[in-house]
């Protein structure tokens, strides 16, 4: 599957879909630090930059278009300006890119606030435009806590397929989930890991931070570790329909990134490390620890030893912000696996 990524960020999609053998044709990112992360991990994939200049992009055949256009305009933080906010108009730019490249699949992500922005008319604009472009679509709110990471992160995902809404629905909805007699459950869905520790593959048990030690929805263990009492509120934007406002916004770049640790004697609060934030989003350890100090040094200009020294000086602030704005890797992996099943039943 050849895909084009808009508003790429640090590319949760590519981390999720690499095991599937999918190939990124190009990225589109303008922020300096995420762009440096992309250049570091994907030096052969072009970053086309500003998505509003898509008409200048080369004509490349793509089978899938993926993106999470800026969600500030659909959240409380953005005063819910909706499409009147220029950032919100990038949603229309995303549609224009789809019209030009005509990919077979579309995957779009946003905060739950998009469902009620401008009385729902903004979201209706997106869905109506997809229909006019010839795409059948389905949408669903997915929560990262059910996909193997220790955080609550509800996001709206829209999947579109050219001329076929049934294929889009087959991606987002398992057969059991559309039955009226299915009892409610907090168990992990198909494709989701059974416990959060599984997303730390490659790390010894002692290497995993104590606040991330848990099994699937079991927060009552008392084995010497300080456990997370509930999934962590983890996101750079928290929208009004998301009812987890009582949880700490651990990755809001303007506020302290911290987690409360329940222990026997007292409640303690400490700052999350960048590696813990990477794990909460499903990224490999130190994925955002790149050669970055006052800018990005291309790998071909310095020795590995010098690059490692520079990476060690990478500030935490840009890493927190980039991770907070990213999609959750396990959710994107599940969506990719579902598309694979529909493509190859």
Q: How far is CA 172 from the centre of its chain?
A: 16
Assigned domain for 195 exists: no
Task: Confirm whether 71 is a catalytic residue.
Answer: yes
Rounded mean pLDDT, 40-65? 93
Digit-coded pLDDT (tens) for 3-17: 999 999 999 999 999
Give how many domains the chain has, as a whole number. Answer: 1
Nearest partner of 16 among 258, 321, 235, 335, judged by Cα: 335
What range does the domain containing 152 cover? 2-183+326-343
Angle (nearest 5°) at CA 171 between 165 and 173: 95
As a whole number of Å, the CA-based R_g of the chain is 20
Assigned domain for 219 exists: no
Assigned domain for 199 exists: no
- The yes-or-no verdict on residue 218 having pLDDT over 90 is no
Bridge-based pairing of strands 154-162 and 105-110 is antiparallel
Assigned domain for 284 exists: no
pLDDT of amino acid 300:
55
| Cβ contact 200:148 at 8 Å | no
Tokens of 143: 């929560």
Assigned domain for 227 exists: no
What does each C-alpha distance from 104 to 12, 108, 113, 163 come to in angstroms?
A: 21, 14, 27, 9
- The yes-or-no verdict on residue 247 having pLDDT over 90 is no
Assigned domain for 228 exists: no
Tokens of 241: 């329909």
Catalytic residue among 71, 199, 277, 314: 71
If you average pLDDT over every residue of the chain, what do you get? 75
Please name the residue ranges forming H helices in 176-288. Answer: 274-281
Assigned domain for 29 exists: yes
pLDDT of amino acid 122:
82
pLDDT of amino acid 16:
97
pLDDT of amino acid 308:
72
Distance between CA atoms of 67 and 264, rounded to whole angstroms? 44
CATH number of the domain within which 101 lies: 3.40.50.150
**How large a percentage of the chain has pLDDT more than 90?**
45
Digit-coded pLDDT (tens) for 101-126: 999 999 999 999 889 888 888 888 88
Dmax over CA atoms of the chain, in Å, equals 62
Residues forming a β-bridge with 158: 108, 139
Distance between CA atoms of 308 and 265, rounded to whole angstroms? 41
- Max avg pLDDT among 124-133, 154-163, 236-245: 154-163
> DSSP class of residue 218?
B
- The yes-or-no verdict on residue 299 having pLDDT over 90 is no
pLDDT of amino acid 88:
62
Tokens of 27: 């990225």
> DSSP class of residue 144?
G
Distance between CA atoms of 143 and 331, rounded to whole angstroms? 8
Residue 25 backbone class (left: φ over 0; alpha: ψ -120 to 50; beta: rest)? alpha
| Cβ contact 85:45 at 8 Å | no
Nearest partner of 49 among 35, 59, 39, judged by Cα: 35
- The yes-or-no verdict on residue 35 having pLDDT over 60 is yes
Nearest 10 degrees: Cα torsion 238, 243, 248, 251: -30
Q: How far is CA 15 from the centre of its chain?
A: 10
Tokens of 151: 């955080």
Assigned domain for 209 exists: no
């Amino acid at each position: 599957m050849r895909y084009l990524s808009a508003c790429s960020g640090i590319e949760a999609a590519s981390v999720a879909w690499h095991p599937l053998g999918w190939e990124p044709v190009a990225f589109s990112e303008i922020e300096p630090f995420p762009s440096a992360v992309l250049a570091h991990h994907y030096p052969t994939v072009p970053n086309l930059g500003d998505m509003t200049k898509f008409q200048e992009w080369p004509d490349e055949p793509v089978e899938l278009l993926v993106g999470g256009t800026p969600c500030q305009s659909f959240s409380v933080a953005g005063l819910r300006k909706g499409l009147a906010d220029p950032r919100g108009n990038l949603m229309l730019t995303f549609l224009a890119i789809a019209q030009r490249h005509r990919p077979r699949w579309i995957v779009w992500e946003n905060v739950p606030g998009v469902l009620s922005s401008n009385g729902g008319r903004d979201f209706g604009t997106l869905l109506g435009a997809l229909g006019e472009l010839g795409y059948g679509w389905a949408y669903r709110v997915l929560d990262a806590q059910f996909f193997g990471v220790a955080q609550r992160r509800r996001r709206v995902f829209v999947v579109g397929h050219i001329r076929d809404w049934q294929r889009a629905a087959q991606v987002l909805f398992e057969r059991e989930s559309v039955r009226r007699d299915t009892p409610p459950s907090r168990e992990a869905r198909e494709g989701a890991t059974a416990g959060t520790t599984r997303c730390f593959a490659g790390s010894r048990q002692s290497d995993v931070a104590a606040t991330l030690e848990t099994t699937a929805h079991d927060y009552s263990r008392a084995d010497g570790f300080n456990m997370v009492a509930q999934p962590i509120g983890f996101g750079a934007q928290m929208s009004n329909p998301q009812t987890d406002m009582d949880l700490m916004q651990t990755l809001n770049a303007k506020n302290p990134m911290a987690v409360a640790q329940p222990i026997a004697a007292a409640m303690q609060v400490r700052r999350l490390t960048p590696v813990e934030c990477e794990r909460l989003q499903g990224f490999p350890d130190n994925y955002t620890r790149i050669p970055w100090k006052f800018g990005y040094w291309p790998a071909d200009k310095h020795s590995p030893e010098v690059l490692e020294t520079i990476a060690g000086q990478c500030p935490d602030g840009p890493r927190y912000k980039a991770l907070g704005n990213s999609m959750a890797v396990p959710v994107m992996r599940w969506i990719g696996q579902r598309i694979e099943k529909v493509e190859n039943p």
